Amino acid sequence: MRGLLSAFIALTLAAPAAPRTAMGGVWLFPRSAEFPGLRMLRLSRDAGGWRGSVTTDWYGDVPMRALAVTGGTAHFLIDNGNPRLPPRPWTATIDGTRLRVTGDIWERHVESALRRGTATDATRLAFPRAPLPAPVTLAADGLAPTPPMGWSSWNRFAAAIDDATVRAIADHLVSSGLRDAGYRYVNIDDGWQGTRSADGAIRANARFPNMPALAAYVHTRGLKLGLYSSPGPKTCAGFTGSYGHVEQDARTFAAWGVDYLKYDLCSGEGIFRTAAEVRLAYQQMGQALRATGRPIVYSLCQYGRDRVGTWGSGVGGHLWRTTGDIADNYAAMAAIGFDKDGDAATAGPGGWNDPDMLEIGNGGMSEDEYRTHMTLWAMLAAPLMLGNDVRTMSPATIALLESRGVIAIDQDPLGRQARRIRKDGDAEIWARPLADGSVALALFNRGTTARDIGFTLQDAGLARIARLVDVWAGVPDSPTRRTWEIPGHGAMLLRLTRAP
């Protein structure tokens, strides 16, 4: 979950925090433009001295280096994620009940593009310890036999989403033909939550006056409704999370008619201290959703840590994020799609690697770059969740999103994720076996200028080719052709039928 939100995430719950020194503890950052993607700071002191780390969306827990604490001030260095750039100096100072932090923070995924942070406050997290379940392995339930397809609100609307917008999005998914192309889920991300009633039941905020009625509206259009929550007390945007109410929230979601849940770690990072606890927190919701008896697709969002593909299905998940959040620029999309695509061996029918939502149509990339985006996600057997405003799509955007040949590769029932076969400088060749015995082959140009890229029969794993189709054009080409000119940041997608 990303966001440039100004609200502080103040988590002050009933039980007192354990005794600590003035600076010690877990501190939660607000969402701010000065520190994008920054979540949490931890400081603790033991017999060996002070230790600390900073948690970011993009790099997880980053240890503090050269940490020195004097009184109420800490000085330390933080790596910016680029090995060619030096660590950046930060300072944290107690300021009343908050920790005032200054320093440099990096722009996500863009090498050497540092954003100077001015100052921001972190609020100390205090929490009671809610029980976690004993570890179990949940059996497959038959949901998500192919990667889920639909729309999600966050990339375009962030937390500024409401009932009327969701209804209009549902209408346009139908009228544009995208529903019939396979985009069936209408997912409300962060920002729908209100407070809890006296009995603890979660309520939607005033922008969503009747969630069951909204679900019914979506269902009557042949679509399904998704919601968002967190295993922590607060979501990434500072709304009410499911901590301490997991089973109760699952029952509420089912009663409302929800068909999909994205579960974002967010403030849970300050509560679940070990990888094992995080797994159990996700298992708890997985069990709770199963117990409702309603089929609900379960999306795990813990940023690809702890080899999530090896245990995601076992806690009830049907898809799991492999990375931090995407952004609407080629560098961010390419860094995720090419380099943080998850372990192909752990994905397949019922459980998918999720490189995050699509940015196509949001305006930050060229048509060639968006074609690469869609091609890469289809080759990865990735969930296809639209992140744009479908009410204002251009014909070019619709053509990219509803290409039946590309979608057929993404939704191929064999469910085998593509692998990088060969890399030659900026040229990459990826291959994916398909259920009918054919092969999807993608030629990518990661450079900025056009170049010829060719493949061999060995790249495709075929002895002979009977038929070669240019998938984006939707037309066959000569089965003997091997080379194409690919524009900068562009892609060619081929479907190759093996000869008998």
Give tens-digit pLDDT for 344-388: 999 999 999 999 999 999 999 999 999 999 999 999 999 999 999
Report long-range pairs for 112-118 (Cβ below 8 Å, ≥24 apart).
112/82, 112/84, 112/85, 114/80, 114/85, 114/88, 115/34, 115/36, 117/34, 117/35, 118/34
How many CB atoms are located within 10 Å of the residue 152 CB?
26
Phi-psi region of 142 (alpha: psi -120 to 50; beta: other; left: phi over 0): left
The answer to whether residue 356 is catalytic is no
Q: Report whether pLDDT(108) > 70.
A: no
Closest CA to 243 of 97, 126, 99: 126
Q: Report whether pLDDT(30) > 80.
A: no
**What secondary structure does DSSP assign to 77-126, as a single string?**
EE--S-TTS--EEEEEEEETTEEEEEEEEEPTT-TT-EEEEEEEEEEE-B
**What is the pLDDT, as a whole number, of residue 23?**
84
CA distances from 488 to 170, 366, 367, 376, 452 (A): 35, 10, 11, 15, 11
Q: In the structure encoding, which two tokens stand for residue 72, read together?
A: 């109420």
Q: In the structure encoding, which two tokens stand for residue 500, read together?
A: 């008998």
Task: Mean pLDDT check: name the lowest of 176-185, 191-200, 208-217, 265-274.
Answer: 265-274
**What is the pLDDT, as a whole number, of residue 82?**
57
Task: Mean pLDDT check: name the lowest of 31-40, 132-141, 184-193, 463-472.
Answer: 31-40
**What is the pLDDT, as a whole number, of residue 51?**
87
For residues 422 and 429, the answer to whether their CB atoms sit within 8 Å is yes
Q: In the structure encoding, which two tokens stand for residue 88, read together?
A: 């950046």
**What is the pLDDT, as a whole number, of residue 100?**
86
Closest CA to 244 of 276, 208, 268: 268
Q: Report whether pLDDT(14) > 50.
A: no
Q: Report whether pLDDT(110) > 60.
A: no
Residues listed for the chain:
500
39 pLDDT tier (thresholds 50, 70, 90): confident
With respect to CATH, is domain 149-410 assigned 3.20.20.140? no
125 pLDDT tier (thresholds 50, 70, 90): low
For residues 91-112, one letter each, b for 16 or more C-beta atoms within 10 angstroms of the residue's C-beta and e for the rest, the string is ebbeeeebbbbbbbbbbbbbee
Closest CA to 51 of 91, 23, 79: 23
How many CB atoms are located within 10 Å of the residue 113 CB?
12
Longest dimension (CA), the chain: 77
Catalytic one of 325, 341, 356, 410? 325
18 pLDDT tier (thresholds 50, 70, 90): very low
CA 436 to chain centre: 30
How many CB atoms are located within 10 Å of the residue 253 CB?
27
The answer to whether residue 264 is catalytic is yes
**What secondary structure does DSSP assign to 368-423, as a single string?**
HHHHHHHHHHHHTT--EEE-S-GGG--HHHHHHHT-HHHHHHHT-TT-PPPEEEEE
Q: Tokens 């590309």 — which residue?
A: 406
What tens digit of pLDDT does each residue of 132-141 get? 999 999 999 9
Q: Report whether pLDDT(113) > 50.
A: no
For residues 459 and 500, the answer to whether their CB atoms sit within 8 Å is no
Average pLDDT, the chain: 89
What tens digit of pLDDT does each residue of 240-296 get? 999 999 999 999 999 999 999 999 998 887 788 789 999 999 999 999 999 999 999
Beta strands in 266-347 (DSSP E): 297-301, 319-321
Percent of the chain's residues with pLDDT above 70: 88
Q: At what angle do helices 246-256 and 211-220 cross, to 10 degrees?
A: 50
Q: In the structure encoding, which two tokens stand for residue 376, read together?
A: 């890469």
Catalytic one of 162, 190, 259, 264? 264
With respect to CATH, is domain 419-498 assigned 3.60.20.10? no
Q: Which helix (H) or strand (E) holds 187?
A: strand 185-187
